[in-house]
Chains A and B, each alone.
Chain A
């Protein structure tokens, strides 16, 4: 069974631009969560999608948004990029979550210049 895949793996953008990251969950998984990992703030929950609906949201500004498609693939978008958005963005999928194991992808490393 293929694991969680994230594309692209590395991305370099400049301030003010926007970016879209993609996550393909494990086949059969319907829950997709996104996390931001930085040296200063550690791992922080962004949001979670289940059956194309945002089910949970963390404490991030509205510049961070996401969506989920009918095949459970998910995208997250960051608009008006700031230097502080440089981070590793991790996607995790689970069958239905609710304390099920979350399987993490390798992440997308975003650098904002």
Chain B
């Protein structure tokens, strides 16, 4: 069965410094992986997705993630944090048998300090 593990429940950074949110996945098949962001009292927004094309995936708002099969990782990075990046981030894998079903990680809350 597919699953994702987000290694940090909270990450705090200063504005202008790099962001790293870690995600490991477990999948018997070549997975489709996503990162979603949720701002307070708002719905989820797709940041980026990996579907077996390029291993380095660029998303919106300067975020990117690299698919590393040997490490079963899909970490999310951004070179320079902005105050508006403060939110909850979810690493997501789609179910191999029912690709319409998304399996969410437990989330990482990103705090950005001025």
Contact residues of A with B, CB < 8 Å?
4, 31, 33, 35, 42-45, 48, 50, 55-56, 58, 90, 92, 97-99, 101-107
Contact = CB atoms under 8 A, between A and B. Distances in A.
Contacts of A45: 101-103
B101 A58 contact: yes
Given A4-B43, A90-B44, A107-B43, A102 B101 contact: no
Contacts, number: 55
A24 B101 CA distance: 19
Contact of B41 (A4, A90, A97, A106): A106
A97 B100 contact: yes
Contacts of B24: none
B5 to A, nearest CB: 12
Interface of B: 32, 36, 41-46, 49, 51, 90, 94, 98-107
A105 to B, nearest CB: 5
Main secondary structure of the interface of B (DSSP, over half): loop
A80 B15 CA distance: 47
Nearest to A9: B41
A42 B106 contact: yes
B89 to A, nearest CB: 12
A103 B36 CA distance: 10
A39 to B, nearest CB: 10
A47 B23 CA distance: 25
Contacts of B104: 35, 42-44
Contact of A98 (B42, B44, B99): B99
5 contacts: A33-B100, A33-B101, A44-B104, A99-B51, A106-B41
B50 to A, nearest CB: 10
